[in-house]
Structure 1
């Protein structure tokens, strides 16, 4: 058994988000101390302030609250920014290390190459603009903080994309997905492991190179949404009965994920490799593991 550091401990804000839930399971499996707060309680100012005050000696605070919302959600991004600032002030005062989950969606998708950490955010859409503002608020504070932008998240949580895709494959004969929207499908479990690996190195007192700032992590093998959906449904077919027969590549304006011009959200992950030695994991390797967990639950 690996001996854990006596100082390595976590507050997880958003323990029911995809990355937050994955982090809880990972820390539990490693017997690393943590305290978790669900998303709904984080939005209650008094409850959050009391929680942070009670656990001000915990070393790392993972803010996993700001995952990309579902299509039907209408979040208050001003409230997001206000909450992020409050967290930044509290964790800075407590001399805690703040780990912030961010997204490739801070970019517009107009780049012909993978995005670098030094590229300027230019989303032009509410979620991406909100995340870019939150990032800058954290970084300008001058505290010990690390921002990790990630690719398209997938997990076995029933309300998210992968579960919706499985349900659609079971219930419908034809499905269509964008062939112009490309990026890095990324397992939320892999992101949790990235945050833990970063924290372990910070905990060891590594000072060179300087660790604070923005990093990209995404599973390897960038692809279109159509390619990802086809790969997922191929695995689903090997595990359960489905109705779907045709998986079309389409970009008609009436599609939910319609993209009329090519958009590329691929992330370059060289900085996180050179700084922390963290390598990308192929998303195809994770899909079957995640689907196994998902299909253990009854399909709707």
Structure 2
């Protein structure tokens, strides 16, 4: 695996590969890699000739400076994981390589910017789209592999790709869970043993809704899921919503073509998200 730290190095390396008709798969990450990231790398390796991963903790997508400072950065262990995977190139830039001086960015994301994650993390998706646009401009990949756990983020990036007419195609890959159902997340390292057990309430609520989807109304499902979360000690739910998976607008009807349940909650001091496709 080759490790590159400058935009010019990455662009040049990929241009040479592209001239030999190699397809490029790109996996953007913020590091603190886990089995979910490795699954993205594996799928990328199966579908493309060259797999590029990036590790960059992007400051513009954090609306809380403490959250930015606490974000885990185990770079050496991340590199070892990638070396054992199908990753061919790691792009590992510093902040001043990706941002120069004062930059302005504002992409019209419509209601996606202010609902669910957008409501609780104002400005977050402007930062996400800003850095992903920079990365796509450099790598110009054929395919970008993203995790379903950040479902709203995938929708935001699909909106950006269409709005800006970018040539890359996004591929959403399934959530990877531990044996007990907890969705893998880089933030899970902050959970104490007790908090980790409490965090299972998120996936339990989602699985409950999935199991009872045909038996209860949308409102009943949401109310029961909220009670499950709210009654768990140490868990403070922020939202539990059942939405049209094509628009992310709340759906009152099961007749909607595609339906997803999404949840966010704080467990102790750690904020977690999860979702499950119901239909």
| Fold agreement, TM-score > 0.5 | no
**TM-score scaled by length of structure 1:** 0.30
Greater RCO (Cα-Cα under 8 Å, separation 6 or more): 1
**TM-score scaled by length of structure 2:** 0.32
